[in-house]
Amino acid sequence: MIEHRPHASLGAARHGWLDAKHHFSFADYRDPARMHWGALRVWNDDTIAAGTGFDPHPHADMEIITYVREGAISHEDNLGNRGRTEAGDVQVMSAGSGIVHSEYNLEPIATRIFQIWIYPDSRGGEPSWGSKPFPKADRSGAFVALASGMAGDDGALPIRADARVLGATLKAGESADYRLGAGRSGYLVLSAGSARVNGVALRAGDGAAIRDEDMVRVEAGEDTELILVDTRE
Q: How confident is the model at residue 217 (pLDDT cuts 50, 70, 90)?
A: very high
Domain final residue, candidates 80, 99, 132: 132
- Evaluate whether residue 4 is within a structural domain: no
> Contact, 93 vs 79, CB < 8 A?
no
- Specify the CATH number for the domain of residue 15: 2.60.120.10
Q: Are residues 113 and 202 in the same domain?
A: no
Please state the rounded mean pLDDT for residues 146-166. 97
- Evaluate whether residue 72 is within a structural domain: yes
> Contact, 58 vs 98, CB < 8 A?
yes
Q: How confident is the model at residue 209 (pLDDT cuts 50, 70, 90)?
A: very high
What pLDDT is stored for residue 160 in this prediction? 98
- Evaluate whether residue 221 is within a structural domain: yes
What pLDDT is stored for residue 118 in this prediction? 98
Q: Are residues 122 and 145 in the same domain?
A: no
Give the whole-angstrom CA distance, residue 59 versus residue 174: 39
> Contact, 106 vs 112, CB < 8 A?
no
| Total domains present in the chain | 2
Q: Are residues 80 and 190 in the same domain?
A: no
Q: Are residues 118 and 147 in the same domain?
A: no
- In three-state form (DSSP H/G/I as H, E/B as E, the rest C), the secondary structure along the chain is CEEEECHHHCEEEECCCEEEEECCCECCECCHHHCCECCEEEEEEEEECCCEEEEEEEECCCEEEEEEEECEEEEEECCCCEEEEECCCEEEEECCCCEEEEEEECCCCCEEEEEEEECCCCCCCCCEEEEECCCHHHHECCCEEEEECCCCCCCCEECCCCEEEEEEEECCCCEEEEECCCCEEEEEEEEECEEEECCEEEECCCEEEEECCCEEEEEECCCEEEEEEEEEC
Give the whole-angstrom CA distance, residue 5 versus residue 94: 28
What's the pLDDT tens digit per position in 168-190? 999 999 999 999 989 999 999 99
What's the pLDDT tens digit per position in 19-68? 999 999 999 999 999 999 999 999 999 999 999 999 999 999 999 999 99
What pLDDT is stored for residue 47 in this prediction? 98
Q: Are residues 216 and 169 in the same domain?
A: yes
What pLDDT is stored for residue 66 in this prediction? 98
Domain final residue, candidates 81, 114, 132: 132
Please state the rounded mean pLDDT for residues 5-28. 97
Residue type at 115 in one-letter notation: Q
Q: Are residues 86 and 52 in the same domain?
A: yes
- Evaluate whether residue 88 is within a structural domain: yes
The average confidence (pLDDT) of the chain is 97
Range of the domain at 157: 136-232
Q: Are residues 193 and 222 in the same domain?
A: yes
Domain final residue, candidates 88, 113, 132: 132
Q: Are residues 47 and 157 in the same domain?
A: no
Distance of CA 8 to the CA centre of its chain: 18
What pLDDT is stored for residue 39 in this prediction? 98
- Evaluate whether residue 3 is within a structural domain: no
pTM summary value: 0.97
What pLDDT is stored for residue 97 in this prediction? 98
Q: Are residues 112 and 156 in the same domain?
A: no
- Evaluate whether residue 21 is within a structural domain: yes
Q: Are residues 126 and 144 in the same domain?
A: no
- Evaluate whether residue 2 is within a structural domain: no
Q: Are residues 22 and 125 in the same domain?
A: yes
Give the whole-angstrom CA distance, residue 63 versus residue 41: 10
What's the pLDDT tens digit per position in 69-109? 999 999 999 999 999 999 999 999 999 999 999 999 999 99
- Evaluate whether residue 140 is within a structural domain: yes
Q: Are residues 121 and 142 in the same domain?
A: no
